[in-house]
Copies of this chain bind each other. A is one copy, B any other.
């Protein structure tokens, strides 16, 4: 019995997120199908997080315990040949039997892409949120700093989530501008359901004047989802980095 760590990259446009669902194509089910075709066994693959429908990953980690024997590099090549072109396996390596892609994850960095020009960009269709109004990136870079550190992120969690401990530590929060492309990076030790998308929606709410400048510390303290902004669309979100 071996435990393998698979690192993926995928365009999430065509998938209902990571996790297996009835009547929907997910990244997990697609990967399990490919593994079954190659190894002849339907293994359960454990992902580092559940991504939403339409969310992308530049790096996504998952692990799989299997009794089937195949050198990791050979399995990588075989999976890349069998998988659809919007999922790629960047590496496969053996890890200790106890390794768990979700529980052992030390931190993640998400990236949120905004195409900030009046006209849409066909090359970022489904891959960036098109926001056609001006963005004051230096101002937003000041605002986003309020997320840094350890806070209760209840206000930035989709209502209905059953997670009890909503304290998380954010270690990276910055915005970069490359021409008309705005990249928001948010890194931390863990994330609540829709947390990054609500953080981005709150920044856009501040930009639009619906949420007062400087109010993020207050929103955190009040712990009320209604004070934060709307949930930004899924197709701008990328899982960018996973640390163990």
Contact = CB atoms under 8 A, between A and B. Distances in A.
A90 interface: yes
A89 B80 CA distance: 36
Contacts of A119: 9, 76, 80, 88-90
Contacts of A85: 120, 122, 125
Given A80-B120, A119-B80, A120-B80, A86 B125 contact: yes
A11 B88 contact: no
Given A85-B122, A123-B127, 12 more contacts: A9-B121, A9-B123, A11-B122, A11-B123, A76-B119, A85-B120, A86-B125, A87-B122, A88-B119, A88-B120, A88-B121, A88-B122
Would you list the 4 A-B pairs with minimal beta carbon distance, nearest first? A11-B122, A86-B122, A85-B125, A88-B119
Contacts of A127: 123
B11 A125 contact: yes
17 contacts: A9-B119, A9-B121, A9-B122, A9-B123, A11-B122, A11-B123, A76-B119, A80-B119, A80-B120, A85-B120, A85-B125, A87-B122, A88-B119, A88-B120, A88-B122, A89-B119, A90-B119
A130 to B, nearest CB: 10
